[in-house]
């Protein structure tokens, strides 16, 4: 049997190295997704914890020094979750008041047009993006490649996931798809927290009502315990400093 030539062996080694690298990347991404889902499941009422974890996981998996998640409510910017110095310095350099939701800017356009915007090279911008006010600040902070991905609730974008790379390394199709997957998981975390907290509040109201009815049933000849139970329940449900019930 003839021995393989040096060139063939070199090609096989390169192909083996490529496949091994792809396998490691796939395993890392699967592990990252599993970590995010575990965080969502372990803290169903705490969306902030899950979103911060998504930002940190995105930074690690995409080799990005900074990641930000910015939410929007009724046309105004809401909560933000950031990882890394670049995302923080960009935000301090250009306040949100100067970047409108739906305006000519990176996060606003991602939300208003409900689409992913990938900028492979900040030194060679597409003319349609050249007037975005935040991009010069991103470049000054060391960003070279970036991507904004919408957080979608149904057919509407409610936020944006932005990943910043400090080297010229455009995201692959697989990486862009994974960023959309992480954005979708962020929406799952938000919705889970909303439903969990609404359910908890409903249970607390039902419990308070049951407590008051129990006191009424056991104090048919004395109204004072009933008023005390009403005040106590109101204070607890409203998270108030104090509460009182008066009889006139």
Joined tokens for residue 154? 């149904």
Hey, what's the torsion of the CAs at 54, 58, 64, 69, to 10 degrees?
-40
Q: What is the pLDDT of residues 218-233, one digit of tens each?
A: 776 666 766 666 667 6
Higher per-residue confidence, 111 vs 17: 111
Contact criterion met (CB below 8 Å) for 173 and 75: no
Domain spanning 19-194 has what CATH number?
3.30.450.40
Hey, what's the torsion of the CAs at 149, 151, 153, 159, to 10 degrees?
-120
Residue with tokens 């049933």: 217
Cα–Cα distance measured from residue 120 to residue 123, given in angstroms and rounded to the nearest whole number: 9
Q: What is the pLDDT of residues 148-189, one digit of tens each?
A: 999 999 999 999 999 999 999 999 999 999 999 999 999 999
In this prediction the pTM is 0.75
For residue 37, give the nearest of 156, 184, 196, 173 by alpha carbon.
184
Higher per-residue confidence, 213 vs 148: 148
In this prediction, residue 210 carries a pLDDT of 72
Would you list the domain boundaries of the chain? 19-194, 198-237
């Amino acid at each position: 049997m003839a021995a393989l030539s040096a060139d063939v062996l070199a090609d096989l080694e390169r192909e083996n190295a490529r496949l091994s690298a792809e396998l490691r990347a796939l395993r890392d991404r699967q592990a990252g997704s599993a970590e995010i889902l575990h965080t969502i499941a372990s803290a169903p009422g705490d969306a902030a914890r899950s979103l911060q974890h998504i930002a940190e996981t995105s930074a690690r998996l995409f080799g990005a020094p900074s990641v930000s998640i910015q939410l929007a409510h009724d046309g105004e910017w809401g909560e933000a979750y950031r990882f890394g110095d670049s995302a923080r310095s960009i935000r301090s350099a250009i306040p949100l008041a100067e970047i409108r939701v739906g305006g000519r800017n990176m996060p606003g356009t991602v939300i208003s047009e409900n689409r992913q915007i990938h900028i492979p090279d900040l030194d060679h911008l597409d003319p349609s993006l050249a007037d975005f006010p935040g991009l010069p600040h991103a470049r000054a902070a060391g960003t070279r490649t970036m991507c904004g991905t919408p957080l979608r609730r149904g057919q509407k974008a409610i936020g944006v996931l932005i990943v910043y790379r400090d080297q010229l390394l455009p995201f692959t199709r697989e990486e862009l798809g994974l960023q959309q997957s992480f954005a979708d998981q962020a929406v799952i975390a938000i919705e889970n927290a909303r439903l969990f907290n609404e359910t908890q509040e409903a249970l607390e109201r039902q419990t308070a009502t049951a407590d008051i009815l129990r006191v009424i049933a056991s104090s048919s000849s004395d109204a004072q315990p009933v008023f005390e139970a009403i005040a106590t329940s109101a204070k607890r449900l409203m998270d108030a400093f104090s509460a009182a019930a008066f009889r006139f």
